[in-house]
Amino acid sequence: MSKSSSDAAPENTAPRHPPELLELVASLPALPGVYRYFDAQEQVLYVGKANSLKKRVSSYFQKDHGGSRIGHMVTKIVRMETTVVRSEAEALLLENNLIKTLKPKYNILFRDDKSYPYLKMTRGLPVKKSDAAKLAGSPVALAHPSPATPLSVNPLQVPRVVYYRGAVDKRHDYFGPYPSVWAVREAIQLLQKVFRLRTCEDTVFNNRTRPCLLYQIKRCSGPCVGLISVPDYQRDVDSAMRLLRGETQEVMSSVEARMMAHAEKLEFEQAAELRNQMSALSKVLHQQAVDTVGDQDVDILAVKVQGGKACVNLAMVRGGRHLGDRPYFPVHVDDAEPAEVLDAFLSQHYLDVPVPPALITSHAVDKELLQALIDQTGVKITAVHNPREQRRVWLEMAQQNADIQLARLLAEEGSQQARTRALVDALDLAPEDLEQFRVECFDISHTSGESTQASCVVFHHHKMQSAEYRRYNIEGITGGDDYAAMRQVLVRRYSKLAEAVRAGEGKLPDLVLIDGGKGQVSMAREVFESLGLDLSRIVGVEKGEGRKVGLEELVFADGREKVYLGRDSAALMLVAQIRDEAHRFAITGMRAARAKVRVGGSKLEEIPGVGPKKRAKLLQRFGGARGVGDASVADLCTVEGISEELAQTIYNALR
C-alpha cells in the first residue's frame, strides 16, 4: 500500500555534490589560501580567497543560500582546487591575478583599465661647474635676444612639465594618478599661470632664438633664450612640486620671503615679478578652494546597485585638491550587495594603482580585506564610511555622481537592447539568446591603392567589443581593388572557423555586415559558398541616393529583395553605428600604416643591431626618422649605445 502524501518524507532540495568534493572540503586546512570552483563542463565558476580555507569554503556547503547568485553557483560546483599561501595578503594578490586571467562567471569583475594619466616633471641634469657662472649670470629680462648672441642652455638642465600616461620610472617626478586627462591639463595650466614652467619638447627648446607665444602671454618664463637663469627657474620648479604635494602655505611663505628680500635690496623689478606670482597663486587657490580638513591624498568611493547593474564612482583628492571623479561599471553583479561590489573593487583595483592613506567609502570595508591591502601595499590605510563635515560633502558628491552614471548606463543599455531586438525582428533572425547575438562587420580602406587595410569590428552583448576588433593588412592584390581585398579578408577570417563549425567546435556570428552594395555582397557570397557557410548571414549596407545618411538599403546574399528600413528605424540606427565603427577602425589603421611607410620609420626597424631601445634613442635625439636620415656618422655616434661601426651601417642603410 502506498504512503499518503502527508506521510511522505520531505523532499531534500539541497544540492547534491560528489562525495570526493565533500571529502576535500572536510579535509581543508585552517590556513590562508585561494579556492577555485568548477562546473561539470570544467568552466571556472568562482575564485575566492580566505584567511582560513576550512572555515570559508565550508560555509558554502553548510549554509542555505536560497535563490541568490551564490546559491545558483553552489548548485553547479562539482570540483574544487585550492592553493595554500603564507598570508591573506598573498592570497589577495593570487586571487586578483586568477580573476583577471580566468574571468569566472560568478565573480564581480571590473574592467582591467588602470591606465591613469599622470603629471610628469622631468628632472633637470646637474649644471656643470664650467657652465654655472654663465648660466647663473644670464639676464633675467633680456629685451630682444638675438641669434647673434646664442645662449647655450642644455634643455636637459631645464625641467619641463608634461602630461604622461604609462609606466613610471625613478629618473623623473610623477604626480597623480589623476582621474582624467582633463584634470592633468588643468593642473598644467595652473603651473603655467603661476610658475611659468616650460612644456615644449627638447627639440623645440634647442632651436628657439626668440621667445614663443607662451612667453608673450605670460605662461612661460623663456628659459630657452635665457630670459631666466637656470637656478631661478629651478627654484620655480621646486615651488611647483611643493604646491602639487599640497604644501600651499609653505609655497606662499617662501615666495613672500623672496619678494621682501629683493625689495630690501631695492631690486624692485624682481620683487614685482614675485608679487605677481603671489597674486596669481592666491587667485588660483581661491578659485579651487577646498576645505581639506588636513587631508592631502584621499580616495572617495561611492557604490550604487540597481537593476542587476552597479557603478563605483571613484573621486580623487591629491595634494589637498579635489581632482574630479571616474565611474567604473562591473559585470556579473546580479543580486550582489553594494558592500560586495565595494570589496571586489578594492581587491582588484588597488593592487595595480597607488593607494592613498585615506579612503572614504559609502559602505563599511571588510576589516580583513583592508588589512590584506595594507600588508600587500605597505601603506597604512584608514577607511571611513560615516564621515563628517567636508569629508561627508565629498562622499555625498560621489554618491550623487554614482546615481547619475548608473541611471545613464541603464538608459543606454535599454536603448541598445531595443535596437538589437529591432534589428533581429527586421531581418527575421531567430537567435537562441538575444544577449548572445553577435555581429561582425567588415570595411576596406586605402588611399589610391596605398596601404590597403581591412577592418573587422564586433558587436556582442548589445555593445561594441573593441577588444575583439581586428585589422588585416591586404597584400598581393592590385592597388584599389576593393573586391579582391574583401575576398582576402573574408577567407582569412572564416576559413579556419568554417572547419571548426563542421567539427562542431565553433560558432559563426549571427550576422556578417559588409560595408558595400551588390558587388561586395557578391564577393562575400562566393567566399561563403566555397567554405560551405550559410549565405543568409551576409548583409550588405548599400548607401542610398546621394549617399545621404538614413537612406541606406540592406542587400542580401541569399537572393532576397533589398530592404529599406526607414530613416527613423532603430534597426537602421544600429546597423549605421556598427558600419561607422568599422569605417573608423579601418581609416585609423590605414593612416597609421601609410604614415609609417612615408616617414621611413620602418627602415630603422630593418637595420641589424638597431633594436627598440636604440631606435627610440635615435628618434628622440634627432626628432624623428627624417632627422636620423639627415644625420652624419659623427652625429649618430653621439647617441648612447651607437658605435662607429653601427653608425656607419645606419648611415648607409638610410641612403
The pLDDT of 414-433, averaged and rounded, is 85
Compute the average pLDDT of residues 418-437. 85
CATH class of 600-653: mainly alpha
Class level of CATH domain 22-102 = alpha beta
Question: What's the pLDDT band for 546 if we cut at 50, 70, 90?
Answer: low
Average pLDDT, the chain: 81
**141 or 426: whose pLDDT is higher?**
426
Task: Among 73-82, 85-94, 102-111, 446-455, name the one with the lowest average pLDDT.
Answer: 446-455
End-to-end, the C-alpha distance of the chain in Å comes to 103
| pTM of the predicted model over 0.85 | no
**What is the 8-class DSSP label of residue 331?**
B
Lowest mean pLDDT segment, chosen from 412-421, 435-444, 620-629: 620-629
Confidence (pLDDT) at 275: 76
Domain ranges across the chain: 22-102, 120-127+135-287, 298-409, 434-596, 600-653
Does the pLDDT of residue 114 top 70, yes or no? no
Residue 525's φ and ψ, nearest 5 degrees, are: -60, -40
| pLDDT value at 150 more than 70 | no
Helix, strand or coil, per DSSP, at residue 75: helix
Kindly report each contact of residues 521-528 with a partner whose C-beta sits within 8 Å and lies 24 or more positions away, as own/partner: 521/555, 521/556, 521/557, 522/557, 523/483, 523/486, 523/487, 523/490, 524/486, 524/490, 524/557, 525/557, 526/487, 527/487, 527/490, 527/491, 527/494, 528/490, 528/494, 528/557
- Rg (Cα) of the chain, in Å, rounded? 32
Can you read off the three cell numbers belonging to residue 469?
576588433
Mean pLDDT of 523-542: 91
Q: Locate 388 and state its grid cell.
A: 563628517
Distance CA 235, CA 529 (A): 73
The span from the CA of 70 to the CA of 62, in Å, is 13
What is residue 243's predicted lDDT score, i.e. its pLDDT? 79
In which band, very low, low, confident or very high, does the pLDDT at 524 lie, cut at 50, 70 and 90?
very high
SS3 40: coil
Mind listing the pLDDT tens digit for each residue in 275-308?
Answer: 776 666 665 544 443 444 455 789 999 999 988 8
Confidence of residue 209 (pLDDT cuts 50, 70, 90): confident
What pLDDT was estimated at residue 128?
Answer: 52
Answer yes or no: is pLDDT of 32 > 70.
yes
Look at 35-39, 245-249, 337-341, 523-527 and tell me which has the smallest mean pLDDT: 245-249
Lowest mean pLDDT among 96-105, 262-271, 428-437, 515-524: 262-271
> Strands, E, within 85-151: which ranges?
117-121
> DSSP 3-state assignment of 101?
helix
Mean per-residue pLDDT for 74-85?
A: 92
Q: Which grid cell is 403?
A: 546615481
Q: Respond yes or no on whether the N-terminal peptide bond of residue 177 is cis (omega within 30° of 0).
A: yes
pLDDT at position 330 over 70: yes
Q: pLDDT (tens digit, 9 = 90+) per residue, 343-355?
A: 999 988 888 788 8
Local confidence band at 83 (pLDDT 50, 70, 90 cut-offs)? very high
User: Using CA atoms, how far apart are residues 48 and 566, in angstroms rounded to an integer?
Assistant: 50
pLDDT in tens, 440-458: 999 998 776 667 889 999 9
Pick from 112-126, 318-332, 418-432: least confident: 112-126
pLDDT band at 153 (very low <50, low <70, confident <90, very high): low
> Above 50 in pLDDT, residue 149?
no
Q: Quote the pLDDT of residue 10.
A: 42
Q: What are phi and psi of 50, to 5 degrees?
A: -155, 145
Q: Are strands 382-384 and 358-361 parallel, antiparallel or unpaired?
A: parallel
Find, among 620, 616, 647, 645, the residue nearest to 631 by Cα.
Answer: 647
pLDDT at 432 over 50: yes
Q: What pLDDT was estimated at residue 382?
A: 92
Answer yes or no: same fold for 434-596 and 600-653: no
Judged against a pLDDT cut of 70, whether residue 578 lies above it is answered with: yes
The architecture in CATH of the region 434-596 reads 2-Layer Sandwich (3.30)
CATH class given for the domain over 298-409: alpha beta
* CA gap 283, 292 in Å, rounded: 18
